[in-house]
Amino acid sequence: MSTKGKTRFFALGRPALLLGCLLLAVVTCSGYVLAAAGEAREKEQAEDKIPEYTLGPGDTFRVRAWGYNELEQEVFIPPNGVAMVFPVGKIEAAGLTASKLDEIITEKLKKYVKEEPEIIIIPTTYVHSQVYVLGQVSNPGLYPFRGKMTVLEAVTRAGGHTTRAAIQQVRVTRPDTDNPNASKIVNVDLDSVIHKGKAANDIKLRPGDIIYVPDTFSAAQGQN
């Protein structure tokens, strides 16, 4: 091959090489994006496995029946756990989830309406179950669990964290659903949630969770 031919070959080959590198970079970045998306889906699926809230004394729920406005009502569960639902009467609501209560009320309402109603039960006040907020917060103590309550919301309800709080190392202790005699600890970096906008680092709470905000000294000792 002549020198002129070689020069032409390299001149044509260089753009092709650059194009190949660019395609490789795109494929690599796509792989990272897909991996991140997969992790996000796994986290979302894990959150979806949170047990449904169980109603108890002191809680209230709203009954909605599509097409039957007269049946819409707010129902309180008294200390004995037996709620009065119009027009079906007494229902032992304590110990039931909203979906199970939905099934029971739907079945009982069949006697009072022409067509099977489409019922939805919405818990509106959560008093029966509580979460514990301890450590470096302004008002440690028990707080009513509320649906889709997060660690940040619980800490905020407890008056917020103190100046001594190590909010990068908040711990959530919860019963292990697979082993009633054991507990799981979930670490939450609230600093990244509050100051860096990483809302995904916050987690949804479950009834009975214990949120502990350590002080900076204890947190430092724990790292040593």
Q: What is the pLDDT of residues 143-181, one digit of tens each?
A: 988 777 899 999 999 999 999 999 999 999 987 777 767
Residue 38 has pLDDT above 90, yes or no: no
Q: What is the pLDDT of residues 107-136, one digit of tens each?
A: 999 899 888 888 999 988 887 788 999 999
Q: Measured between alpha carbons, how far is 35 from 29 in angstroms, rounded to an integer? A: 10
**DSSP H or E run through 162:** none
Distances (CA, A) of 190 to 135, 138, 184, 220: 14, 16, 18, 16
Share of the chain above pLDDT 70, in %: 75
Share of the chain above pLDDT 90, in %: 50
Q: Which homologous superfamily is 130-223 in?
A: Outer membrane lipoprotein wza domain like (3.10.560.10)
Mean pLDDT of 92-99: 93
Architecture of domain 60-125: 2-Layer Sandwich (3.30)
| The pLDDT of residue 40 | 45
Query: 145 phi and psi, to 5 degrees?
Result: -75, 135
| The pLDDT of residue 63 | 96
pLDDT band at 25, cuts 50/70/90?
low
Cβ-based neighbours of 171, under 8 Å, separated by 6 or more? 185, 186, 187, 188, 211, 212, 214
Q: What is the pLDDT of residues 42-84, one digit of tens each?
A: 444 444 455 678 898 889 999 998 888 899 999 999 989 999 9
pLDDT band at 90, cuts 50/70/90?
very high
Average of per-residue pLDDT values in the chain: 81
